[in-house]
Amino acid sequence: MPATILVVEDEEDISILLRYNLEAEGFGVQTAETGHEALEHIQHQLPDLILLDWMLPEVSGIELCRRLRAREETAQIPIIMLTARGEEEERIRGLATGADDYIVKPFSLPELIARIRALLRRASPNLVTASLKLGDLELDRTTHRVRRANRDVHLGPTEYRLLEYLMRHPGRVYSREQLLDGVWGNEVYVDERTVDVHIGRLRRAINRARETDPIRTVRGAGYAFDERFAQPA
Ligand code: CA
């Protein structure tokens, strides 16, 4: 499952160019033309990074950035602002509002992609490293092997994807709907209870008798990888 980038840009040609090139680099890409559309996307699925155009109709890029920073569940999403050439003041305001980086139009694609990777490494190292180690649980993205306390854990493909997805952002609570979209993909129709079934299988596979369960059930909300489990003892 690739890292997902939400591109918020009202100019169609730029949006198409970005989608094409980011997908070619292996990212999952969603696009929105307006701030409202972006908020709807985010409500449905939190992206791993947002490319945000400054000049948008209705809600401006800067206003959208401010709103995202003000909400707990979106405060940490890395944001790169796309600004017009020579608008020094925009950049300063963008960074002051909480954007992590900015890039000036017309931009160089290799530079933009390098900035995206650098920001993802800094903000979400769990998204990009080949091997994830949280507590005594290890997941290797290259070999798809999972180990707990140095023993091999055998997971079905769905349980593997579910674990990998939850481990990306320890502490982040995902609704069943978000897990279905992120793990199963939104083109597949599966019942939300399917998530519970696979979480159950995952738990049985990774937890032995007295071991702490790293998966937290959040009543009325969904599931999270327990951030306390992720911290070194
Ligand atoms: Ca624009």
Same domain assignment for residues 100 and 162: no
Least confident of 74-88, 100-114, 149-163, 188-202: 74-88
Interval 120-124 mean pLDDT: 87
pLDDT of residue 126 exceeding 90, the answer is: no
114 & 140 share domain: no
Q: What pLDDT score does 1 carry?
A: 65
Question: Ligand 1 centroid vs 55 CA: distance in angstroms?
Answer: 4
Distance 186 CA to ligand 1 centre (A): 28
Ligand 1: centre distance to CA 128 (Å):
29
Task: With beta carbons less than 8 A apart as the criterion, state whether 13 and 57 touch.
Answer: no
Rounded distance, CA 46 to CA 52, Å? 15
Phi and psi at residue 227, to the nearest 5°: -65, -25
Residue 116 C-alpha to ligand 1 middle, in angstroms?
A: 19
For ligand 1, an ion, list residues with CB under 5 A.
Answer: 10, 53, 55
Note whether 117 and 162 are same-domain residues. no
Contact of 62 with 93, CB cutoff 8 Å = yes
> 170: cis peptide before it, omega within 30°?
no
User: Domain boundary residue among 85, 103, 125?
Assistant: 125
Say yes or no to pLDDT of 56 above 80: yes
Q: Is 149 in the same domain as 223?
A: yes
Domain that includes residue 63, residue range: 4-125
Among residues 75, 98, 125, the one where a domain terminates is: 125
Asked if the model's pLDDT at residue 13 lies above 70, the reply is: yes
Residue 154 gets which letter from DSSP? -
pLDDT tier at 86 (50, 70, 90 boundaries)?
Answer: low
Contact 213, 203 (CB under 8 A): yes
Say whether both 94 and 189 belong to one domain.
no
CATH number at residue 156: 1.10.10.10
SS3 56: coil
The stretch 66-90 carries a mean pLDDT of 86
Percent of the chain with pLDDT over 70: 97
Is residue 193 pLDDT above 70, yes or no?
yes
Residues 58 and 116 in one domain: yes
**pTM of the predicted model as reported, rounded to 2 decimal places:** 0.78
Q: What angle do CA 218, 222, 224 make, to 5 degrees?
A: 70
5-9, 27-31, 124-128, 133-137: range with lowest mean pLDDT: 124-128
Average pLDDT for residues 36-42, to the nearest whole number? 93
Q: Cα(74) to centroid of ligand 1, in Å? A: 22
Q: Does residue 24 sit in the same domain as residue 60?
A: yes
C-alpha 187 – ligand 1 centre gap (Å): 30
Place of tokens 């071991």: 211
Out of 83, 102, 125, pick the residue that ends a domain.
125
CATH code at position 25? 3.40.50.2300
What is the CA(216)–ligand 1 centre distance, in A? 41
The tally of domains found in the chain comes to 2
